[in-house]
Structure 1
């Protein structure tokens, strides 16, 4: 039996497409992607705005703190008798320092930056901001500042005995620095730098430690001054670098003079040089002028190596010194000026060695020596245990004769 053909459309069924079309899927994916991007951009924008607001608040707070220390120029002029020469305490490349008396009778030291000085607004603001936050008995205390017209003035506590070099290198005054006082000065400087390197917030690298920047109060206690070249370090930061070498010849470590690298160990090197100056009573710049090219560090190392370290002692101390303390200080000084920064002790270790709390003091390695050419036109660096660095022949824009060159760059 033959069945009749099924009606059209009943025997076969056209398959129905299920799901979402490719075009629709693409549109959905694109929409989700755009949403994610917009969300991310919005999040970053809001975070940036919050951070900006935070820093603005911080700056405003800092600004309020600084403005509370600001003096009118008229007050400073009255205090210094209009910057009278009779009130002048000293003069350097940065400008002049004057003694003044405020209306309440407080004596002050006024640092008036020269209009032609290379220490400009950057260094001025740097020093004010730093000093406002630093509090230690071995640091000079900031009283205030004046920024009016072209005048940039920093007001410090008055330290009556001027700077260390005023006594150390004056034949008539150096007798006032017996061994007890020199030991006390060395220890005080070390404690001041321990505070800067480890205890202050923020951490500070001074970068211009020298005899001129150590002031002495009425009891001959040392106070570290002149923070115009200082750098702020973060908690986890251990080293920085700069393309402009600024500092004082003879006090600069080799890694800074040659490559612009600085760290807390840069201050340690300068401290070592300063200790050797205090012990010997010899000015580092006096060696720079000799035709032999021999330097203070080389001079002390040679005596140490030859077993005659006591020969470097300032003759004026012959009746007041402690042999063990002198030898300990010479050894510490040489440890601080070693060529490799990693070989130099921290300031905490220095203080332990000074106090006699360290069971053993390491034997110093040959230091790096700065040699001044007989022509006086170029600077080179050599080390006893190494060949001359090829880059050492490059002339560095550092200063001679105790004059600082300062050029600060934003961090």
Structure 2
């Protein structure tokens, strides 16, 4: 509190001083500089420019900071590579009209380094956008230099990350060495035109991460940029002038958000949480090793859900078996059977008429690097590229059109989780590697004839089948309607399901804003889970069975049967269910800290779990399992226990969830055999 009062008094004195001498609080002039620890503030008080230090460091820097939040947050640093060693620093406009940082010996540690024709009228103004502008008063206030064009590691609203190919100029973020050392780190973030504009991260000037090509609305295949596009990210590309830039503006003025390229090379979006009094990470560019550019080499596929995560595209095999056996797939893969057009047509054309090459469809999270845009419309993509032997693969996007690749396919990534946009990639393979086989024509003809026969016979019995189906549907809907509203009778082990409250679908749709993507908490094998708020204000977690889920009514009923009988502080509580038509929904108590894996595998959150909290979580999980295995009647074996199924409440107390694959034992049983492979 003492520091707050001192700062307030200091700020009041500075304000009076500026008012007395008729100089704006947000401006530096040739006759008015600022000395450590003085500062200037933007007109509405959003940002301040002045001297600061990091915790546990005596080094002093000049920078732009957020002024209205209690946590020191630096948006830009001037002398990032040459810190002041004491409090003798001065920020002023020099005789040549440049904005400079001087030490006590009047040595220049940093300069805006521009040529100024009228230095006596130069001013530096801090705007509410966070941009510091050096302008010439005699030239109509034209901008000589801007901090937005010489950024540090922060990307804030209205700033432009840009590339001007003709002028050879690029505005890009530069990472810090560490969170407390703002000197130049190993990573940079910028926009590259390539054949289609992409946002990329470089490590030591080498391509390290790519967001994917821009299709006019978003970057293809990036969870980060697909999500934040909703918040106002956009790219402007002028191919004729060869200028490209990326910026963002949020429609919600009350939400304070900025992006940062951290010292580990992650592009992170942060949101200020006033309730917690800290910045919360919303999205990160890196989720797994598969996000590292070219992790599995040429013609390799990266799939983070498999072990090993690298494999070869069908028709290819590892180039270096020994390295691949050690988990290093960077050497990539090579084609096992040459394309017919490569063998029989040295000029690189033809082959399509012989029908010996074709395209294999593969679902990918992000298309390979360096696609070439074509003017060909979707319907003609395959026919056109089959005639061109140099075309190794092609894909189509409505915003871009046809894309094709003529060299190595690098950075191919598969993604097995549903709910993520996937893209069709067609890879050129010889006929022998395709799934069609040698007798494709015979199979097609036989299939067509058999189909006609089946359809003809089926038509004779159609009225009977439709009548039976209507009766079956009616009976199924009646059963589903009564499924959660009535008690289920004794089952084989004598367990009677307790009656659960029935919540209608309309009420759940209202609670989750019609299952809005912004309400989505996560997704598992069962389907997506949404955060919702009932009319009485209670928060809930709504688990909706996905049509694409491998689980069905059996697992759904199993979870209701199991969890409705369980009462323990370390087991998640089931509040109700909904079965209407094809909808099967479970309603749980809401866990504000999500699942354990979000802490364990997020470097920004790992430090939250000190040893005491980790021990409490371990102990809580053990108590829950002890109850399931010994004290519960009936005994329960979970069979799918993993970090994503351990939920954490607001006090970080663990609760075991997801009993869809659980096995029930009778009271007198102490062993049993499972009949199928289940779980993760």
Q: TM-score, length-normalised on structure 2?
A: 0.27
Higher strand share: 2
Higher helix share: 1
Higher RCO, 1 vs 2 (CA within 8 Å, ≥6 residues apart): 1
